[in-house]
Structure 1
Amino acid sequence: MSEVARRISACTPHQVAKRASVLTQFRDSVRELFAIAVLHLSNPINRYSPAFPVSNLRPCPTHRTPRPSPRLGSPFPCPPPPLGATLGRGGFGKVKVGSYRGTKVAVKVLRGRRAVSTCAREALALPLPPCPYLLSLLAVVTPAPPCHRFARVQWGAEQGGRDQLLPLSTVASLFRLPLDDFSGPDDEGESEGEGEGGPGWGLVVSEMCSPLTLLSLINDVSLPLPITTKLRFLHELASGVSFLHSHGLVHLDVKPANALLTHQGRLKLGDFGCCKDMHGDEEDPVVGTVVYQAPEVLRGDGRGCASDVFSLGITTWHLLTRTCPYPHLHPHVVIYQVVRLGLRPPDHHPPISPPTYLDALLFNLAVRCWAEFPEARPTAVSLCRTLAIMRLAGPSKFPRSRDELETNLHSELKEHYF
């Protein structure tokens, strides 16, 4: 008796019926996915279908376990940065290396008029339970007016979710930071209008990842990114977005630069500075990077889960083509054309290698994600399910023919679920 048969015989009738229902759902999803791909690939006049003639498509090469890349393998080969080193800079401030209880952490030092309000949005992610696809936040530190010698420390869920008022010197020694990081900008005019009359500064303490992001991998032309790696990256990114949505939060700044690479070569979605509670009434004019934003966000009509799905679609196109969306266009021009003229990334960008079926299907998913109306876009959950099916099918079996695909997928699902 085979291993599968032994597992099936050990199941109760209820378990067999339940797992058979799961197999049926997967089979129906594969049929739908295959039908959509054939429809779009065979219709060259469809505006948003990738311009890949079906005759030019080739089956994916036989899957072989790739040799770990020196930049994507595990463990990450880069030497750990020293304490106090600067990991990155931006208009918000800088990210540097700190330490908490002997473990190195990343500390985002925010300065300026919007520092405290940005920290308030970052703090929305503090109560979230651990997720392998989201950056874990340890604490958010903001000034505690009217006495500027104290700071408010909001701890994450893994640290008990406490809210403490501590002296600045205590916070500095707790995270091994200099006291210079606990001050606002030198220009007084910059700090005007900061909420509650406090100085414009704030700290966001999170787990330490590698110095690389998905954007740096995309821009490194010397680094090959197989379609299977791209598929895994997109599935991890979509899983992080789906987890946020399931806990009532919308990210609103999904882009390759906010997808951080861990030392194990996995992606984690970070930077919750534009995050919003989908059940709250608060409206904030903060907009993330323009080229990834949905038209309803740029119009200011409302921001929901579908806005993150739109950003995932643009990110998918960016990863597949390794080309920045709307190059050489001013952000104001992008806003006008996306909102008023329905501008989207071009239908086709010549890839480095001949396109595979997986390329075409991922392009099709991107097109569905950036639909004009939010209700026409797939949910993050359905997007994760589709990407999981594509990963489970494997490049050697996806898709030569619908019958062969269903047969191989059904056998693998039986092994997985039974």
Structure 2
Amino acid sequence: MPSPIPVHRILPKGFSPTISLRPCSSPNQLQGKAQHFSFTKQYKALPRRFWYTVIWDELKLLDLLGSGGFGWVYKGTYYGKTVAIKKVRKCTKNKLAARQSFWAELNVAHLVHENIVKVLAATASVPADPEAEDSVGTVIMEYAGGTSLDHRIYNCADPLDVGDCLKFSSDIVSGLSFLHSHSIVHLDLKPANVLITEEGRCKIGDFGCSHKLASDNDLTPNVQLRHLAGTYTHRAPELLRGCSATLKADIYSFAITLWQMMSRDQPYSGDRQCVMYAVVAYNRRPSFSAIFNESSMGRKIRSVIHHCWEVEPNGRPNAKQLLESINSLAAQL
């Protein structure tokens, strides 16, 4: 079943997910029997309630971390534990898109991995609060730190060295490999959606564009996007052409992300439509700067990037193959 939700589905104010709505059903729900949510080690002290139950009295909003068309993300506490709270905004122009974004966030609700931001609780109901009227749902996630990879690349005085680039790449692709093993394609992988913890580990977040594919085949084109998901600078050429999504779309997005880590530059400049046309019609890609030619390792990373942003999805490696290549390069340092 294509995710996040069928076009005809209307979210109720307070819903109780069922097996038929997977992967948005209760994470550990098996054979119709609801089981309690198993939190990661950091959050084991939280009460073992169903993930779709939010106890509003225990939720405290603190600092606003970010906002945009999707809604708002706050730092806060839940039962005394530090968390991130995402409130998905209603969209007056496209109400279905807002609901889809909320449900897409829950594609990873049943998954636990060290390189994926963990969903702790979520609900489509809202508290009796006038300010909540603009929200279609709330997602409570682990707090993975206040630094994004985008901030680390562009707003820190010290550039990432090759070792940092490979370490972060290993984290990101490890997360992708795990997602892809569950037939989930992220579709908006970019530095802004990768968080860096205090321990220096990268975690992939923001699954508002993600899809659960009907098959785990890397190249099975079984999701036809009704709108262009993700960020155009990182969007795979086949998606720009209106083709169906496959897992290989994330590999292309990773290539642009790795290029950014190495070059500390923006991938494209100019009008959005012109860039998209150039990528599709002329197979344009960001230019490789001198840093990619200054060492044998730089040239090897350039080769990895070039392989990952091939125009045809079947020309790109899958996440498992890519992870092996990156770890092999890291071992050579």
TM over 0.5: yes
1:183 counterpart residue number: 133
1:257 equivalenced with 2:228 (yes/no): no
Contact 2:223 2:246 survives alignment (8 Å):
no
- Indicate the structure with greater helix content: 1
The separation in 2 between residues aligned to 1:321 and 1:364, in whole angstroms, is: 15
Aligned residue identity for 1:312: F
Deviation at 1:286?
A: 4.0
1:356 offset after TM fit, Å?
Answer: 2.1
1:266 partner amino acid: R
Distance 1:212 1:320 in 2: 18
Residues in 1 aligned to 2:139 and 2:297: alpha-carbon distance in whole angstroms: 38
- Paired residue type of 1:306: K
User: Normalising by structure 2, what TM-score?
Assistant: 0.74
Partner of 1:283: 224
1:226 corresponds in structure 2 to: 161
Distance in 2 separating the partners of 1:181 and 1:115: 17
Who is 1:84 aligned against? 62
1:50 matched residue in structure 2:
none
- Are residue 379 (structure 1) and residue 318 (structure 2) matched? yes
Do 1:83 and 1:104's aligned partners in 2 also have CA atoms closer than 8 Å?
Answer: no
TM-score (norm 1): 0.60
* Residue identity opposite 2:277 in structure 1: Y
Structure 2 distance, partners of 1:251, 1:219, is 23
- 1:195-221 Cα distance to aligned partner (Å, 9 max, x none): xxxxx5221211002211111011025
Match of 2:246 in 1: 304
TM-superposition CA deviations, 1:246-299 (whole Å, max 9, x none): 011111111111110112111000110011111175533241000001011111
CA root-mean-square deviation:
1.9
**Which whole-Å CA distance do the structure 2 matches of 1:220 and 1:379 have between them?**
31
Instruction: State the SS of the aligned residue for 2:300.
Output: helix
* Partner residue in 2 for 1:338: 279
| Matches of 1:120 and 1:300, distance apart in 2 | 23
Would you say 1:115 and 2:98 are equivalent positions? yes
Q: Say if 1:354 and 1:372 are closer, same or farther in 2 by CA, change over 3 A.
A: closer
- Report runs of 4+ in structure 1 exceeding 3 Å deviation: 280-284
Name the CA shift for 1:282/1:391 in 2 (closer, same or farther; >3 Å).
closer
2:83 to 105, 112, 117: 105
- C-alpha distance in structure 2 between counterparts of 1:293 and 1:141, whole Å: 30
Gaps of 5+ in 1: 1-81, 144-150, 152-167, 170-178, 185-199, 396-418
Aligned mate of 1:325, from 267, 279, 282: 267
1:363 CA drift (Å):
1.1
- Cα 1:383/1:336, change in 2 over 3 Å: same
- Give the 3-state SS of the residue equivalent to 2:140 in structure 1: strand
On the 8 A contact 2:75/2:83 being kept in 1, the answer is yes
1:350 correspondence with 2:333: no
8 Å CA contact retained: 2:74, 2:85:
yes
Query: 1:87·1:95 contact (CA, 8 Å) conserved in 2?
Result: yes
**1:125 to 2:65 alignment:** no
Deviations 1:299-319 (A, max 9, x none): 121111111101111111111
- In the alignment, the residues of structure 1 paired with residue 273 and residue 136 of structure 2 have an alpha-carbon distance, to the nearest angstrom, of 29
Using the alignment, how far apart are the partners of 1:375 and 1:304 within structure 2? 10
- Whether contact under 8 Å (2:160, 2:261) holds in the other structure is no
Give distance in 1, aligned partners of 2:131 and 2:76.
11
Deviation at 1:223, TM superposition (A): 2.1
Could you tell me the percent identity over the aligned residues? 32
The one-letter code sitting in structure 1 at the alignment partner of 2:325 is T
1:363 paired with 2:320, answer: no
SS for the counterpart of 1:182 is helix
Contact 2:183 2:247 in 1 (8 A): no
Q: Name the aligned partner's letter for residue 335 of structure 1.
A: M
Match of 1:390 among 305, 329, 332: 329
Give secondary structure in 2 for the equivalent of 1:96. Answer: strand
* 1:130-171 residue CA offsets vs partner (Å, 9 max, x unmatched): 10111101122214xxxxxxx5xxxxxxxxxxxxxxxx25xx
Answer yes or no: is the 8 Å Cα contact 1:274–1:286 preserved in 2.
no
Deviation at 1:374, TM superposition (A): 0.6
Moved more, 224-233 or 353-362: 353-362
> Aligned-pair distance for 1:181?
4.7
Deviation at 1:362, TM superposition (A): 0.9
Q: Per-residue CA shift, 1:317-370, capped at 9, x if unaligned?
A: 11110101112x121111111111111111x3133x982222111111000000
Q: Alpha-carbon deviation of 1:392?
A: 2.3
In 1: Cα distance, 2:186 partner to 2:159 partner? 29
Contact kept? 1:297, 1:303, Cα under 8 Å: yes
User: Would the alpha carbon gap of residues 233 and 326 (structure 1) be closer, same or farther in structure 2, given more than 3 Å must change?
Assistant: same
1:134 equivalent in alignment to 2:76: no
The 2-side partners of 1:273 and 1:350 are apart by: 36
